[in-house]
A and B are shown apart, each in its own frame.
Chain A
Amino acid sequence: MTSSPMPAPTASQPAVDADHAPKDPGLQPGSLVSGLPKGAPGETMIAIDGISKWYGDFKVLTDCTTKVAKGEVVVVCGPSGSGKSTLIKCVNALEPFQKGQITVAGTKVLDKSTNLPKLRSRVGMVFQHFELFPHLTITDNLTIAQRKVLGRGSEDAKKRGLDLLARVGLGAHAHKYPGQLSGGQQQRVAIARALAMNPVVMLFDEPTSALDPEMVGEVLDVMVELAKEGMTMMVVTHEMGFARKVADRVIFMDRGEIVEDATKDEFFGSPRSERAQTFLSKILQH
């Protein structure tokens, strides 16, 4: 497995005039994250407490328990069908679960009195297939939820959206439609769109799995930067290079169970379970 090289930030390069600026310079210097809640770094942001989920008779999640602390980056890995995407979608109640409880920044997910749209607006999510809204321009994709969900004014929303777009290196594409961008570019827009809502945590559901190999790096760059800026992240991915570089902890899942929940060094150094060992030996041998 090859880890993608990180291009140096372009800050040191001389400024070029706008007309001749490269169309896609990649990640730009500046801040991706703003308005993170105050609080001690060790504070729990996501508490997953004994959740189980069935599709009819089929049990997809069995008694999963874990915690993600503020500023922590947790990578969730495991073979396909192991329930990792389902687990992450339970965190913002995109998937309902029948047993247990998840608490996000102090709010219980499985509670009648919880305003789910409000909770979800504080949890950024990035999908495998980007899911930008194809009928809206990039600018509108970045602003629509800010305006309609958070009630921000158009000018504020646009400023926030375009700032983030420039940060992910796509400032020149604001007027385009998603179908006119490459997969990697669309995924960077999707990350910017989620960040525009000032989320307290970010969930990534296999963000690079649908990308051509040469575009994986540009998306991971943004995620690495996000991790460095202290964003709390839960990432379902097969990119073990990314896990090694930025993860604090790795959760390994198999057949709907959390089999291993360890620090990065423990997991890659000496995985305890046989299933994790087999998985690692399979995906790391290339």
Chain B
Amino acid sequence: MNYNWNWSIFFDQSPEGTGTYADMLLSGLYWTIVTALCAWAIAFTLGSVIGVLRTLPSKTANAIGTTYVEIFRNVPLLVQMFLWYFVLPEMLPRGLGDAVKQMPDAPFYTAVVCLGFFTASRVAEQVRAGIQALPRGQRMAATAMGFTTAQTYRYVLLPNAYRIILPPMTSEFLNNLKNTSVALTIGLLELTGRARSMQEFSFQVFEAFTAATLLYVAINLVVVVCASLLERAVTIPGQR
């Protein structure tokens, strides 16, 4: 293979003139993390609501929850990114559509909303599974004590369901973090996007993507360690 290895490339100035190639990758990492956290905030809140809707006795609530999940889970994330970024502004009334297109950091906001809604459908399924895994008697006992439906979820069902689904939710969070890379297609300068720019500017493709790979692995390991600490913290004494 005819390739010039150059590991010191990271300390060279990038042609953008704002720092070294290392700075460029780290700024990509920063946007990856910020996008992932913001998207997760949407995914967790909305996903919990949708998951709960799917477990309520009301048929209407079930239908709304199921429709949401099947739409957002069954369309590829990449297609969803394009729909939000390129199609949605054209569908809006002209003034509003133009305002959306001219919004500063539009790729960032679009990525957050799109990824948040997509991941919410997956979180919703985890929440539903967690609630349905609880013994039926738990809901009955709470109801029999006079709890309203909202109180039953708040004080009994959700605290137990979240504990059950913590391991798969960690996987969802990791997926959410890695899926931010899809946003490079709408111009978000996140880690993968930055690695590609570095490759295009410097032709050091292996160094660029080795660095990106290591950074992804490193942040994901941090997440895994945090999740296992959290798991330990919320374990109930006397349970398996």
Partners in one complex: yes
Task: Convert A114-133 into 0s and 1s, putting 1 for each residue whose CB lies closer than 8 angstroms to a CB of B.
Answer: 00011011110101110111
- B146–A177 touching, CB < 8 Å: no
* One of B18-26, B120-128, B155-163, B170-178 at the interface: B155-163
- A134–B236 touching, CB < 8 Å: yes
- Does A232 have its Cβ within 8 Å of any Cβ on chain B? no
* Alpha-carbon distance between A183 and B238 when the two chains are bound, in angstroms: 13
With A177-B237, A178-B238 known as contacts, the answer to whether A133 contacts B146 (CB < 8 A) is no
* Alpha-carbon distance between A181 and B239 when the two chains are bound, in angstroms: 11
* One of A143-151, A156-164, A258-266, A269-277 at the interface: A143-151
Q: Which residue of B lies closest to A120 (CB)?
A: B146
CB distance from A131 to the nearest CB of B (A): 4
- Does A180 have its Cβ within 8 Å of any Cβ on chain B? yes
Residue of A92, A123, A125, A176 near B238 (CB, 8 A) is: A176
- B146–A118 touching, CB < 8 Å: yes
- B238–A135 touching, CB < 8 Å: no
Inter-chain contacts of B109 with A (CB < 8 A) = none
With A127-B141, A129-B135, A179-B236 known as contacts, the answer to whether A135 contacts B159 (CB < 8 A) is yes
CB distance from B148 to the nearest CB of A (A): 5
Interface residue tally on B, bucketed by range: 20 to 34
Inter-chain contacts of A180 with B (CB < 8 A) = 237-238
- Does A36 have its Cβ within 8 Å of any Cβ on chain B? no
B111-145 interface (Cβ within 8 A of A): 135, 137-138, 140-145
* Alpha-carbon distance between A120 and B148 when the two chains are bound, in angstroms: 10
Which of B145, B148, B239 neighbours the largest number of chain A CB atoms within 10 Å of its CB? B145
CB distance from A200 to the nearest CB of B (A): 13
Residue of B143, B147, B151, B236 near A135 (CB, 8 A) is: B236
* Alpha-carbon distance between A197 and B145 when the two chains are bound, in angstroms: 8
- Does A283 have its Cβ within 8 Å of any Cβ on chain B? no
- A134–B144 touching, CB < 8 Å: no
CB distance from B235 to the nearest CB of A (A): 10
- B160–A121 touching, CB < 8 Å: no
CB distance from A189 to the nearest CB of B (A): 12
Task: Convert A91-118 into 0s and 1s, putting 1 for each residue whose CB lies closer than 8 angstroms to a CB of B.
Answer: 0101000000000000000000000011
B148-194 interface (Cβ within 8 A of A): 148, 151, 155-156, 159-160, 163
* Alpha-carbon distance between A178 and B156 when the two chains are bound, in angstroms: 14
Task: Convert B203-239 into 0s and 1s, putting 1 for each residue whose CB lies closer than 8 angstroms to a CB of A.
Answer: 0000000000000000000000000000000001111
Residue of A89, A118, A144, A176 near B155 (CB, 8 A) is: A144
CB distance from A115 to the nearest CB of B (A): 9
Q: Which residue of A lies closest to B145 (CB)?
A: A145
Inter-chain contacts of B148 with A (CB < 8 A) = 117
CB distance from A137 to the nearest CB of B (A): 9
* Alpha-carbon distance between A208 and B142 when the two chains are bound, in angstroms: 20
Inter-chain contacts of A176 with B (CB < 8 A) = 237-238
With A131-B135, A148-B151 known as contacts, the answer to whether A121 contacts B238 (CB < 8 A) is no
Inter-chain contacts of B237 with A (CB < 8 A) = 176-177, 179-180
Inter-chain contacts of A181 with B (CB < 8 A) = 238
Q: Which residue of A lies closest to B239 (CB)?
A: A179
Inter-chain contacts of A128 with B (CB < 8 A) = 137
* Alpha-carbon distance between A135 and B239 when the two chains are bound, in angstroms: 9
Inter-chain contacts of A133 with B (CB < 8 A) = 138, 141-142, 155-156, 160
Question: A residues within 8 Å of B by Cβ?
Answer: 89, 92, 94, 117-118, 120-123, 125, 127-129, 131-135, 144-145, 148-150, 176-181, 193-194, 197
Could you write out 18 A-B pairs with CB less than 8 Å apart?
A89-B140, A117-B146, A117-B147, A120-B145, A121-B146, A127-B137, A127-B140, A127-B141, A128-B137, A131-B135, A133-B138, A133-B160, A135-B160, A144-B155, A145-B146, A148-B151, A179-B238, A194-B145
